[in-house]
A and B are shown apart, each in its own frame.
Chain A
Amino acid sequence: MQSFPEKISAVMRENVERMKEYFHLDKTVKYHFFSAGKAECCVVFIDGMTNSALINEYVIKPAAQASLKAAPEERLAHLEKDVVQAGETSQQESWSELLQALVRGDSLVFCDGCARALIVGSKGYERRSISEPDGEVVMKGPREGLTEVLLSNIAMLRRKVCSEKLRFEFFELGETTKTACCICYIDGTADARVLAELRERAGRIRIDGVLDSNYVTELIRENRFSPFRNVGTTERPDIVAAKLLEGRAAMLVDGSPVAITVPHIFIEHLQSNEDYYISFYFAGINRMLRLIGFLLSVSIAPVYIAMVTHHHELLPTTLLVMISHARQGVPFSSLSEALILLLAFEVMREAGSRMPSQMGQTLSVVGALVVGQAAVAASMVSAPMLIVIAFSGVTGLISPKLKSVVIIACVGLILMADAMGMYGYVMGMIWLAANLASQRSFGVPMLASVPLMEAGDGEDSFVRAPFNRMKKFGRFLAGEKHGKN
């Protein structure tokens, strides 16, 4: 394959021929020759990536009407200054820079006699319209979601935080994809140590391509094997803006509608942006429900198994009699029953989430009736176990952000409870709590802001205080002087 020299030639035809040879099978690369006075020029662009109206109207048309009388080496400067009517132009002599601009959607103008080419900003491609993210639906509150276009995402953020202190730092990730990324923060509010750590970790990334922000998330997070996420992700600009105001830093990746926010501590798993858009009483109830839901979803199945296999004496007599009768004729052990049902539940959940909503309903009917009712009737599983696993599954869906923790912890605790009864369950829970307490997210302890850990920080943790009572909004990140009401 032909490669490009470092710099372009002063002979326009030579440059264009070199490109044509390189892109000879690529029909989207378009070449348009025109004469600007005595000088022959060529504009090169990629069809579909550019705004062709802009090229025709503001590059080719004025250039064709102009009479370039300047000396050959001055022509390009003249074109840029006096002829081309585009907001974003620059001259470049390096082939690699020019090609990079071309594949990003800019147009190149080669002019005979000039050893430089003009890059005209003409990006224009189809983009998805702004819509509400399916995964983070709110009943009340802003409904816009981030899109795949970095610039549009930044615009959404700027509209929410109209401050000159809102800063953006651009860089590229991906040796091949050269994906544009951007760190956002509010100057003076964001913790400098977190920012420095984020820059350093992002700078260490070596990867071929970054197609989604999760590539970055996995590469910059600590404790990579822990089920708890210590890097936050969201598709909502209002959440990103709120996190920035709390002193966190965010990172946007071109091509991904998911923004990254750091640090991300445990309590954020239980928070929702809607908590701030509804009454603080209701928000508090919802947060407590999420916590209870999380604890129930990881505990109810292992505790039930511990009870029915090891600690029958802890059950009320009538309940034990009922469970014992329900299990008559079931061929599997309680452990197998639980694992089979958990697997069935997770399979149905996964199948349902990838399916159009109409089919999802069918699935839930079939799942509930066939797998549930018929399995009990056929004595494949016992009804109490079905109730327990279904309850555990449903409570697990209260906090979707903790779903992976719930699945891993639940299965682990079930195995420990079956082997060791309540001892196993308690040991497992201690391990889970110790694992969580030992983790940090960009230097901030994962359990920070939990009332038990730091008295006085409880204003926005398990419950949300009214706004007028929030004296130190996110103070452990932002410092004392910021965020006061």
Chain B
Amino acid sequence: MGRIKAAVLLLLAAALTLTPGCADLNESDKLTIVPGLGFDREGGEYALITEIVSEPEAEGSAGKPQSSLIDSRGRTITEAINNNILLSGNILYYAHVQVIVIGREAAERGIWEYIDYVNGQNSFRLMLRPIVADGSAAELMQAKALKTDVSSFELREILASNERIYRAPDIPIYRLANDILEEGIEGILPLAHIEDNQGEPTSKIAGTALFVGDRLAGTLDETETQYLLWLRGKVEGGTVTLGKDVFEVIEGKTSLECGRNTVKIKLSVRMSAEEGSFDGERTERELKELIESDIAGLVKKLQTLGCDAAGFGRRLKRANAGEWREVAENWREQFGRLEVTVAAEPSVTVFKRTNR
């Protein structure tokens, strides 16, 4: 009995070594950690720029991680990535990729192949953030990082802090893939620019890249981005500028009634104002007009581009599947013909900063 038990235990223990990942022993110092990747298209080739974390210059805790960039090219994404390994001479570890920067030209040609490549590799995380560069990806990744020495970490942090100020969307790659594949909604990504900061090119994320299918169709500025994000989801932040006064959004709610021909947008939003910038009902009326015209302008722009980035089609599908089936085939055209009415209800709370 004892021998049988021992044999069973031995077999079970041996079987354990076959479980996935078991033979995957790698010491952490043998890995080259990749925090970000950039894709550009140059002619028929894929230009890949890989940021790798390198040894800190100072010893001990004072040593902040540094990064270096590796350029590689290939006729396919896989070839470009494989050429990368030849250059770096170490195992490139992609599980900690935080951002993927896609150059404007590459985005215009279609981003699905990048999403597909990342989703197909088990080493990439589905929470990584794709960003569209308003230029080439290489330029953006070479721009100076202000806080850390690794520009991908910095881009990721800028995106995270954007969540409250509604200047750019923060979309993980799995949600982008869902938006592209799902009917009745289009994908959006944050848009990054190079800005001059005290004489040095620095990266800035503000605005939205709009996709129709997987191709870049247009961009939105910061204000338009805020209204688009309100239409897509929660209203928990952002600002509305009326003349010289700035109103900060505390909370709000959007409700969309989507039909096959009409869309009614209702938006109630509570804002805070400083004393002096608030003039009772007049300010609220002016704010209402401003918000309504801004949202109407945004929707008009989206309709012109044929890009249902707010997901009116998806809402129609969820609310009335039968109606959706009739228009699903030609939704992009139908979207351009939608009659959209906007009703905003702003309310302003005044906060005193100090008593005079």
Contacts and interface: CB of A to CB of B under 8 A. Distances in A.
Interface of A: 308-313, 317-318, 320-321, 323-325, 327-328, 330, 333-334, 418-421, 423-424, 427
Interface residues of B, number: 26
B24 A421 contact: yes
Interface stretch (B92-100, B198-206, B306-314, B322-330): B92-100
B27 A308 contact: yes
B31 A321 contact: no
Given A312-B28, A313-B96, A421-B24, A320 B17 contact: no
Interface centre among B24, B29, B93 (most CB of A within 10 A): B29
Given A320-B33, A421-B22, A325 B63 contact: yes
B56 interface: yes
Given A312-B26, A328-B29, A421-B25, 17 more contacts: A309-B27, A309-B28, A310-B21, A310-B24, A312-B28, A312-B96, A317-B96, A317-B153, A320-B33, A324-B53, A330-B29, A418-B25, A421-B21, A421-B22, A423-B16, A424-B16, A427-B16
B55 A317 contact: no
17 contacts: A308-B27, A310-B22, A310-B24, A310-B25, A312-B31, A313-B123, A317-B96, A320-B33, A321-B53, A324-B33, A327-B28, A328-B55, A420-B19, A421-B21, A421-B25, A423-B19, A424-B22
Contacts of B95: 312-313
A309 B123 CA distance: 15
Main secondary structure on chain A at its contact with chain B? helix
Contact of B33 (A317, A334, A419, A423): A317
Contacts of B33: 317, 320-321, 324
Interface of B: 16-17, 19, 21-22, 24-29, 31, 33, 35, 53, 55-56, 63, 65, 93, 95-96, 98, 123, 125, 153
A419 B53 CA distance: 28
A312 B94 CA distance: 10
A333 B27 contact: yes
A317 B27 contact: no
Contacts of B153: 317-318
A375 to B, nearest CB: 15
Interface centre among B27, B31, B63, B153 (most CB of A within 10 A): B27
B94 to A, nearest CB: 9
A325 B96 CA distance: 15
Contacts of A310: 21-22, 24-26
Interface centre among A311, A330, A420 (most CB of B within 10 A): A420
A317 B26 contact: no
Contacts of B25: 309-310, 418, 421
A324 B91 CA distance: 13
A324 B29 contact: yes
B22 to A, nearest CB: 5
Contact of B22 (A308, A312, A317, A420): A420
Interface centre among A317, A320, A418, A423 (most CB of B within 10 A): A317
A150 B17 CA distance: 55
A425 to B, nearest CB: 11
A56 to B, nearest CB: 64
Contact of B26 (A309, A323, A420): A309
A323 B63 CA distance: 13
Given A310-B21, A313-B96, A321-B65, A327 B29 contact: yes
A419 B33 CA distance: 23
Contacts of B35: 317
Contacts of A330: 29
A104 to B, nearest CB: 45
A457 B123 CA distance: 48
Nearest to A329: B29
B92 to A, nearest CB: 12
A233 to B, nearest CB: 30
A416 to B, nearest CB: 9
B55 A420 contact: no
A334 B96 CA distance: 21
A308 B55 CA distance: 18
Contacts of B53: 321, 324
A382 to B, nearest CB: 8
A330 B29 CA distance: 9
A421 B98 CA distance: 24
Contacts of A313: 95-96, 123, 125
A312 B28 CA distance: 7
A326 to B, nearest CB: 8
Given A312-B93, A313-B125, A427-B16, A325 B22 contact: no
A423 B18 CA distance: 11
A324 B22 contact: no
A427 B53 CA distance: 34
A323 to B, nearest CB: 5
A323 B27 CA distance: 10
B56 A325 contact: yes
A411 B63 CA distance: 33
B55 to A, nearest CB: 6
A315 to B, nearest CB: 8
Nearest to B96: A317
B63 A419 contact: no
Nearest to B123: A313
Contacts of B93: 312
Contacts of A418: 25
Contacts of A419: 17, 22
A419 to B, nearest CB: 7
Contacts of A424: 16, 22
A320 B96 contact: yes
Contacts of B26: 309-310, 312
A418 to B, nearest CB: 7
Contacts of B16: 420, 423-424, 427
A308 B28 contact: yes
B241 to A, nearest CB: 36
Nearest to A334: B27
A318 B28 CA distance: 13
Q: Which 8 A-B pairs have the closest CB atoms?
A: A313-B95, A327-B29, A317-B96, A324-B28, A308-B28, A420-B22, A321-B65, A309-B25
A330 B25 CA distance: 17
A325 B55 contact: yes
A458 B352 CA distance: 55
A278 to B, nearest CB: 39
